[in-house]
Amino acid sequence: MKELENKVALVTGASRGIGRAISIALANEGAQLILTGRDLTALNETAQLIADLKRGPAPHVSQMDILDSTKIQRCINSALEIFGHIDILVNNSGITGKSARLWELTEAEWDECIDTNLKSSFLVSKAVIPSMLERKSGSIIFIGSITGKRPLIDRSVYAASKLGMVGMMRTLALELGRHNIRVNLVSPGFVEGPRLDGVIATVANRESVSPQEMSAKWQEMVPTGKFTSPENIAQGVLFFASERSGGTTGEDLNISGGLVMY
């Protein structure tokens, strides 16, 4: 029997990158997946990749605006009608936000990053938690960032959104522990992919060096000498989703190649 057989997992931002890797890892352990996000075409691509694995139930795809509480509740209600329960919630959706000094950010740019990364996790968790409380069971996993702990130039709004997520996670862990609901967070380091490439390109332009030079410089900052893969992050989520972490709540797990060790 696979570790997550008969478990239902909802993943936000499942259309690509870390969200897609997380979805595939959960499916490999037999979980019934509810894939959510705004890009329906990309979500269906993730669903097809999972279906091709033939390791578990066919995923359920649900287009959802993570900043519209009405649409979120409608999505959760539909999922509960279909599957009866949600055992695992992965709050993965997010954006990198604008790379700029704080005084160069507009109010709209600040709000967009805080809302997308932090408020969305509040709204989705708020919609899912009541059903977990009814069953006195569940695992909620946030995808944060080491940027919430280790400052990087030009990343103030992103850092604020991710450090705020840590505070929300720990408070929820305290509030929900007696109800057999665990709440944890994974803090990725520099994760390979288009998002990191974009941030590096912006910083490289500011420093008047090539993206390749800046990428090499950032890799030198990592003790392992290489960036983290989305699959590495997925394994951390899998740990928190499974009973292997049954005695763990309120934890912030760094997966950063040693870039952050606290």
From the list 158, 218, 227, 240, the catalytic residue is: 158
Q: What is the DSSP letter of 82?
A: H
3-state DSSP assignment of residue 224: coil
3-state DSSP assignment of residue 228: strand
Q: What is the DSSP letter of 119?
A: I
Tokens 């803090």 locate to 187
Cα-Cα-Cα-Cα dihedral of 239, 137, 250, 232, to 10°? 20
Instruction: Identify whether 262 is a catalytic site residue.
Output: no
Question: What whole-number distance in Å separates Cα of residue 65 and Cα of residue 161?
Answer: 18
Q: What is the DSSP letter of 152?
A: -
Instruction: Specify the amino acid at residue 214.
Output: M
Active site (catalytic) residues: 158
